[in-house]
């Protein structure tokens, strides 16, 4: 029985493929598909590359001008498509690169050797100048700032540093020097090193990654190396079906490659609920989609499905479209994508419950009910109407209080006004009257609907909803009653609940929800993502600076921090400019757009979004863009317009959530940047808006 060789695609190959001219793209795809079928075919003419540091890298002729660079092993059955380019450029790319296996982690790594060679030459020169009985002189001051001098070679390699780059890493004396080395390091190595700089130990990093470094590694076994999560963040093994799908679909890197930490979290069984934290751009939603796919393919048995839910309708629609490109039709048939409120509405219809849910207390029926309830307040308390509204939202509904006895003992942390038992007794009738008024109108507050449905599910003994697992995106925007509902929707067990979220981006629910208080135990199953793949570090730093002084939680009664988050890309520092009003902001917006579009070759390919604080200001800015011939389209609850090209998107800060664009223009009232304690919510909105940008951003105050 003959075994077919394994063929893998490198991330660099797919990135380069996406940049090729259309006329060349189709030829390369045809050749690559034929190569995957049989890389040992006699029709493939492998040529040695003169001066190449790695003898296993070969050139393959695609036509007179174009060459593919392939890893062809001296032994074994692994072939890797590494790169494609013009003849001379492809050779230059290959000359100083080497495909190696990390002797500690077993990961396959592409290493650039030219920098290491230069450093080695410099070191040799120093040694030749020094007398034979001395060592190169290094001041005690410079020696003290070397960041990784205390780590052994084995520890550095366990973090992902290739053996060939150990000399370069050992010379790193500052965070800026580490950043300068980032492009030559595997992602897991750069992440591990900056986490050590931030204060983590090597063991802490390895434990959070679930990385084993106690196994013997065969550095010539590339087939085994390809099986590691680290390798799969850079290389994907393809069969006939996968090759066709990857080569023919528009390239989106998240479809194929995951960071090693993401890869491990997306696959395999978990003993119970999992929570994954990560700042904007760290790939939380991407991870959640891959997790849903793995669960659907491996654990959705006996007709059960995986529910993927998020907070808003337009995010759910966007996720469903992305999942369709990631999953086969059979896998998609096992995944149900719905935002939670749509799921609740469907559940109520299935139980013939006639109540409509109140999402806005200013709606006619709810507004009338609230006005009647306020008429029942005790005038001797001298409390404003806003107190009752906030007390209802943050205490009564958030905690699911239904009786006076419950209210008498309820926690009211952060409410400011102290209420004695007698005062609570006097306040409660307002809430009781409000619920009665809603019921008479067949209306129900959304938190009450969550609570009652959770209770209904719990009382229907033996009745299951048919879910093998539930994946929850944007967890920070769900309050306590929503989390309790998730817990009720699926029995306790392996792989039951998978949460991703970020307290920095809480812009919908103002009620923090601690998982442990909602019956969700994540002990030992909590992880964090640190690398930002979307936003430049300059944009990230501005966004994070806006949150300085704001209390950010970890979704489970603990604090979260941002010092360990890092971006992999760099770009211009965003401008923060004060303008005299919307008209001046519009003129500055137009100037910003035209400046970026004027860059050679960028006019039609860049995506823009103007993000502002209200629908009125959004529409006003859109009109002014249209007046100078810049086409624009608003993002609404119904559509993100993801397929519309060569237009400027317009969005409120809430509607921009979950989206990304090359450039973002944020227009904000000056008041959003006032006292931190008073503007914490608004600052989180600005954080969300700015981190939609991948390459360029600007913030205009009006």
Report the pLDDT value the prediction gives residue 335, as an integer from 0 to 100: 98
Residues β-bridged to residue 443: 356
Contact 146, 173 (CB under 8 A): yes
Q: 655-679, pLDDT tens digit by residue?
A: 999 899 999 999 999 999 999 888 9
Confidence (pLDDT) at 192: 95
| Residue 496 φ/ψ, nearest 5 degrees | -70, -50
List the one residue out of 282, 306, 283 whose CA is nearest residue 294: 306
Please report, to the nearest 10 degrees, the dihedral formed by the alpha carbons of residues 531, 535, 536, 538 taken in order. Answer: -100
Give whole-number Cα distances, 27 to 41, 42, 69, 236, in Å: 18, 19, 15, 21
Q: Is 56 exposed, middle or buried (0-12, 13-18, 19+ CB in 10 A)?
A: middle
Q: What is the pLDDT of residue 691?
A: 97
pLDDT < 50: residue spans in the chain: 1, 115-143, 251, 253-254
pLDDT tens for 580-596 read 999 999 999 999 999 99
Q: Give residues with Cβ within 8 angstroms of 624, minimum separation 6.
A: 582, 583, 586, 587, 590
DSSP 259: -
> Which tokens is 98 given?
């080497």
Distance CA 485, CA 272 (A): 16
**How many other β-carbons are positioned within 10 Å of the β-carbon of residue 53?**
18
Q: What is the pLDDT of residue 413?
A: 86
pLDDT in tens, 35-56: 999 999 988 999 999 989 999 9
What does the block give as tokens for 239?
């069969």
C-alpha to C-alpha distance for 667 and 680, rounded to whole angstroms: 17
**Rounded CA separation 479/447 (Å):** 8
pLDDT in tens, 99-137: 999 999 999 999 998 544 444 333 333 333 333 333 333
* Residue whose structure tokens are 């009647």: 372
For residue 21, the model assigns a pLDDT of 85
Task: Give how far the C-alpha of residue 556 lies from the chain's centroid of Cα atoms, to the nearest Å.
Answer: 19
């Amino acid at each position: 029985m003959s075994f077919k060789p394994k063929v893998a695609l490198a991330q660099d190959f797919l990135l380069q493929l996406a940049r090729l001219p259309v006329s060349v793209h189709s030829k390369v795809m045809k050749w690559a598909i034929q190569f995957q079928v049989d890389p040992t075919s006699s029709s493939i003419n492998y040529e040695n590359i003169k001066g190449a540091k790695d003898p296993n890298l070969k050139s393959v002729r695609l036509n007179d001008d174009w060459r593919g660079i392939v890893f062809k092993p001296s032994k074994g059955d692994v072939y890797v498509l590494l790169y494609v380019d013009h003849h001379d450029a492809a050779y230059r790319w290959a000359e100083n690169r080497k495909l190696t296996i990390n002797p500690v982690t077993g990961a396959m790594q592409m290493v650039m050797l030219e920098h290491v060679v230069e450093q080695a030459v410099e070191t040799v020169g120093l040694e030749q100048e020094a007398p034979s009985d001395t060592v190169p002189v290094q001041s005690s001051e410079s020696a003290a700032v070397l960041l990784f001098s205390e780590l052994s070679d084995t520890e550095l390699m366990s973090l992902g540093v290739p053996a060939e780059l150990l000399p370069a890493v050992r010379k790193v004396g500052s965070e800026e020097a580490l950043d300068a080395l980032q492009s030559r390091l595997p992602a897991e190595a750069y992440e591990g090193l900056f986490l050590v700089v931030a204060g983590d130990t090597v063991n802490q990093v390895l434990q959070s990654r679930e990385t084993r470094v106690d196994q013997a590694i065969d550095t010539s076994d590339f087939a085994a190396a390809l099986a590691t999560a680290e390798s799969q963040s850079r290389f994907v093994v393809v069969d006939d079906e996968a090759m066709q799908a990857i080569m023919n679909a528009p390239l989106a890197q998240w479809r194929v490659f995951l960071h090693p930490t993401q890869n491990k979290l997306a696959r395999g069984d978990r003993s119970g609920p999992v929570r994954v934290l990560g700042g904007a751009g760290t790939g939380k939603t991407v991870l959640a989609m891959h997790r849903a796919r793995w669960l659907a393919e491996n654990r959705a048995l006996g007709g059960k499905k995986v529910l993927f839910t998020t907070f808003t309708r337009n995010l759910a629609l966007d996720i469903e479209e992305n999942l369709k490109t990631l999953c086969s039709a059979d896998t998609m048939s096992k995944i149900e994508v719905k935002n939670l409120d749509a799921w609740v509405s469907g559940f109520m219809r299935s139980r013939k419950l006639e109540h409509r849910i109140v999402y806005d207390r200013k709606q006619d029926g709810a507004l009338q009910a609230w006005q009647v309830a306020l008429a029942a307040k005790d005038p001797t308390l001298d409390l404003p109407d806003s107190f009752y509204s906030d007390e209802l939202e943050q205490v009564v509904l958030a905690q699911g209080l239904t009786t006076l006895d419950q209210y008498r003992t309820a926690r009211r942390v952060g409410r400011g006004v102290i209420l004695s038992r007698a005062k609570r007794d006097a306040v409660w009738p307002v809430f009781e009257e409000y619920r009665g008024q809603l019921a008479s109108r067949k209306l129900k507050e959304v938190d009450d609907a969550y609570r009652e449905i959770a209770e209904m599910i719990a009382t229907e003994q033996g009745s299951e909803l048919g879910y093998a697992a539930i994946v929850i995106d944007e967890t920070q925007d769900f309050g306590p009653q929503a989390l309790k509902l998730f817990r009720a929707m699926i029995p306790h067990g392996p792989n039951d609940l998978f949460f991703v979220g970020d307290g920095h981006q809480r812009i919908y629910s103002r009620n923090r929800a601690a998982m442990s208080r909602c019956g969700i135990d994540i002990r030992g199953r909590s992880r964090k993502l640190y690398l930002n793949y979307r936003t430049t570090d300059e944009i990230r730093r501005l966004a994070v600076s806006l949150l300085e002084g704001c209390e950010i939680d970890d979704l489970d009664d603990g604090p979260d921090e941002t010092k360990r988050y890092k971006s992999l890309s760099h770009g211009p520092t965003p401008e923060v400019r004060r303008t005299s009003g919307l008209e001046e902001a519009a003129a500055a917006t137009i100037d910003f757009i035209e400046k970026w579009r004027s860059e050679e070759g960028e006019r039609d390919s860049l995506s823009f979004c103007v993000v502002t604080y209200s629908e009125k200001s959004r529409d006003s800015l859109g009109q002014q863009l249209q007046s100078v011939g810049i086409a624009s389209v608003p993002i609404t609850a119904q559509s993100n317009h993801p397929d519309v090209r060569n237009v400027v998107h317009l969005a409120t800060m809430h509607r921009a959530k979950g989206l990304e664009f090359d450039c973002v223009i944020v227009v904000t009232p000056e008041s959003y940047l006032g006292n931190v304690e008073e503007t914490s919510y608004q600052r989180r909105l600005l954080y969300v808006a700015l981190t939609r940008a991948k390459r360029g951003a600007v913030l205009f105050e009006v």
